[in-house]
């Protein structure tokens, strides 16, 4: 099937912004092959089996395709996730989990809806193709058409996976499973107007493009990779986990427009939230970045989240987040309610322990924050004249300790012992006007 110049006869050009899997599938179909068959030809001996081509196209595959299609290697690499190595993806481990780039696949009964689409963009294409940027989970909206992306076939709910095309597939706008023409998807335009602007999503795209971004509007300028790591950590807290609901409520008190985010289910695989829910949760997350880290601190305080809750796994957390939380939350965020602090103090009282800072810390197992105000100063515990060793009050701790040991050795209580000691000193004096 090769031409004399070593090229394949049909070589669709790569459309601007097209994803590798979309182009690869069009290349296969135009040559009368399924993507799976082409994969075996382009990479002899290999099976495509479940492989997410945008994420993990092997070097050899790209090199062979470059040779057979005349498209240069750099363009091919640029159509895969490699485009974002260093800005969104840290390191080069192909198998590492990439936050913000969930898989697009369907295996057994597990579907992963990592490929979004805009039906209006597809409808406007001469040759419909899928965009690589549609795979970014921090975007949910087509900037051109102002519509909410879809991430599944509206008829059969299958995820969108270009490489699953079969020989009957005519365009990339067709559902691989049921054949539905995705261009006929009704748009969510009216819906979306009711929900929140997406200015922040555009800012994220700009951050990805520039390779750096600001935390908040004017916050510290940081590397894009760190920015997206921070965003990911915050998004995870908002989207799932035990604080997600309180955190959403706290943010919505500041910005009631986002109230629709409160009932969104907490989903452990947070990147799998469908676009509408993800959009809302991202908007909530973005509120936390404002005036960095002021809003985060405020919301965390309201939600009863401690700095320890945020910094559970420091080694894998971006420095920008760790340092901000450590610096601004050196005091714990957890607030004890009046009832809680009353309960703690009365518990100590019942056990005959004075509610000092130390005692309260030991009781609650953590820094006690505002509870500290409720604590009694520990000097009360050693109130002058009110305890066993009162005669040693005001004497330095090391001397007191020595005096106690000496009294014990002499078999005396401390009171008489001190008195004797004083008498002994006085007895050595000769100034008669004192004696």
Q: How far apart are CA 105 and CA 433, in angstroms?
A: 101
Q: Residue 79 CB, nearest distance to Zn ion (Å)?
A: 19
225 and 240 Cβ atoms separated by less than 8 Å? no
Q: Return the residue of 60, 96, 167, 178 that touches Zn ion, per CB under 5 A.
A: 178
Nearest CB to Zn ion, comparing residues 81 and 117: 117
In 3D space, the residue among 67, 83, 57 whose CA is nearest the CA of residue 11 turns out to be 67
Please report whether residue 236 would count as binding Zn ion according to CB under 5 A. no
Interaction residues for Zn ion, span 101-130 (CB under 5 A): 118, 120-121
Instruction: Tell me the CB-side half-sphere exposure of residue 21, using CA atoms within 13 A.
Output: 28
Helix (H) or strand (E) holding 222: strand 221-223
Using CB under 5 A, which residues numbered 179 to 208 contact Zn ion?
180
- Residue closer to Zn ion, measured from CB, 121 or 371: 121
* CB closer to Zn ion out of 17 and 216: 17
Least distance to Zn ion from the beta carbon of 188, Å?
12
Kindly indicate which of the ranges 56-64, 146-154, 165-173, 212-220 contains the residues binding Zn ion, using the contact rule CB under 5 A. Answer: 146-154
Pairwise CA distance, residues 39 & 44, whole Å: 8
Q: Residue 80: helix, strand or coil by DSSP?
A: coil
Looking at beta carbons only, is 188 or 287 nearer to Zn ion?
188
Helix (H) or strand (E) run with residue 223 in it: strand 221-223
Mark the segment that binds Zn ion (CB under 5 A) among 2-10, 141-149, 204-212, 273-281: 141-149
Q: Supply the minimum distance, in Å, between the C-beta of residue 169 and Zn ion.
A: 12
When asked if residue 156 is in the footprint of Zn ion (CB under 5 A), the reply is yes
Q: Nearer to Zn ion by C-beta: 144 or 253?
A: 144
The number of residues that bind Zn ion (CB under 5 A) is 14
Give the nearer residue to Zn ion in terms of CB position, either 177 or 302: 177
Strands (E), 69-208: 104-107, 110-113
DSSP per residue, 249-296:
HHHHHH-GGGGGGTTSPP-SSGGGS-HHHHHHHHHHHHHHHTTTTHHH
Residue pair 111/30 in contact (Cβ under 8 Å)? The answer is no
Q: Which residue is associated with the tokens 């179909």? A: 29
Closer by beta carbon to Zn ion, 204 or else 243: 204
Question: Closer to Zn ion at the Cβ: 175 or 224?
Answer: 175
Is position 162 an interface residue for Zn ion (rule: CB under 5 A)?
no
CA distance 226 to 232: 10
Q: Which is nearer to Zn ion, 178 or 426 (CB)?
A: 178
Q: Does 155 contact Zn ion by CB under 5 A?
A: yes
What minimum distance in Å lies between the beta carbon of 144 and Zn ion?
Answer: 5
CB 329 within 8 A of CB 308: no
Asked whether 213 and 203 are in contact (CB, 8 A), the reply is yes
Query: From the list 40, 78, 177, 358, which residue makes contact with Zn ion (rule: CB under 5 A)?
Result: 177
Contact stretch for Zn ion (CB under 5 A) within 54-62, 99-107, 143-151, 338-346: 143-151
The answer to whether 123 touches 171, Cβ cutoff 8 Å, is: no
- From 5-13, 148-156, 291-299, 375-383, span contacting Zn ion (CB under 5 A): 148-156
Binds Zn ion (CB under 5 A): choice among 48, 175, 237, 247 = 175
- C-alpha dist (Å) from residue 173 to 156, 234, 240, 368: 14, 34, 32, 58
CA distance 69 to 26: 12
The residue among 130, 106, 153 whose CA lies nearest residue 274 is: 153
Sole window of 52-60, 168-176, 237-245, 426-434 interacting with Zn ion (rule: CB under 5 A): 168-176
**Angle of helix 294-303 versus helix 275-289 axis, rounded to 10:** 110
Residue 171 Cβ, how far from Zn ion at the closest point, in Å?
14
| Least distance between Zn ion and beta carbon 82 (Å) | 25
Q: From the list 145, 183, 203, 236, which residue makes contact with Zn ion (rule: CB under 5 A)? A: 145
**Residue 85 C-beta: closest distance to Zn ion, Å:** 27
Which residues sit at the interface with Zn ion, rule CB under 5 A?
118, 120-121, 142, 144-145, 153, 155-156, 158, 175, 177-178, 180
């Amino acid at each position: 099937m090769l031409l004399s110049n070593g090229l394949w006869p049909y070589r669709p050009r790569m459309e601007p912004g097209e994803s590798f899997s979309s182009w690869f599938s069009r290349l296969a179909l135009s040559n009368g092959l399924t993507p799976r068959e082409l994969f075996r030809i382009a990479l002899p001996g290999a099976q495509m089996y479940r492989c997410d081509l945008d994420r993990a196209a092997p070097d050899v595959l790209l090199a062979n395709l470059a040779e057979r299609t005349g498209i240069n290697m750099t363009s091919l690499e640029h159509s895969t996730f490699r485009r974002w190595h260093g800005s969104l993806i840290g390191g080069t481990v192909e198998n590492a989990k990439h936050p913000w780039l969930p898989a697009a696949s369907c295996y057994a009964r597990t579907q992963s809806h990592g490929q979004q689409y805009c039906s209006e963009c597809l409808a406007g294409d001469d040759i419909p193709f899928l965009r690589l940027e549609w795979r970014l989970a921090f975007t949910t909206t087509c900037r051109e058409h102002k519509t909410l992306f879809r991430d599944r076939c509206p008829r059969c709910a299958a995820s969108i996976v270009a490489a699953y095309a079969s020989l009957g597939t005519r365009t990339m706008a067709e559902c691989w499973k049921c054949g539905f023409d995705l261009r006929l998807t009704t748009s969510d335009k009216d819906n979306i107007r009711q929900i929140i602007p997406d200015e922040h999503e555009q800012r994220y795209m700009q951050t990805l493009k520039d390779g750096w971004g600001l935390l908040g509007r004017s916050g510290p300028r940081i590397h894009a990779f760190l920015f997206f790591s921070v965003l990911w950590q915050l998004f995870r807290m908002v989207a799932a986990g035990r604080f997600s609901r309180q955190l959403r409520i706290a943010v919505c008190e500041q910005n009631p427009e986002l109230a629709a985010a409160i009932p969104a289910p907490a989903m452990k695989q947070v990147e799998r939230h469908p676009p509408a829910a993800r959009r809302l949760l991202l908007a909530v997350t973005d509120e936390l970045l404002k005036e960095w880290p002021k809003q985060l601190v405020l919301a965390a305080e309201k939600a009863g989240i401690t700095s320890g809750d945020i910094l559970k796994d420091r080694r894998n957390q971006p420095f920008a987040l760790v340092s901000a939380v450590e610096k601004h939350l050196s005091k714990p965020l957890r607030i004890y309610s009046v009832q809680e602090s009353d309960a703690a103090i009365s518990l100590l009282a019942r056990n005959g322990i004075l509610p000092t800072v130390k005692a309260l810390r030991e009781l609650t197992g953590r820094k006690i924050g505002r509870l500290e105000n409720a604590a009694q100063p520990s000097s009360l515990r050693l109130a002058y004249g009110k305890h066993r060793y009162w005669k040693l009050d005001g004497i330095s701790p090391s001397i007191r300790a020595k005096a106690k040991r000496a009294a014990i050795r002499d078999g005396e209580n401390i009171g008489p012992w001190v008195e004797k000691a004083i008498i002994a000193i006085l007895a050595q004096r000769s100034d008669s006007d004192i004696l």
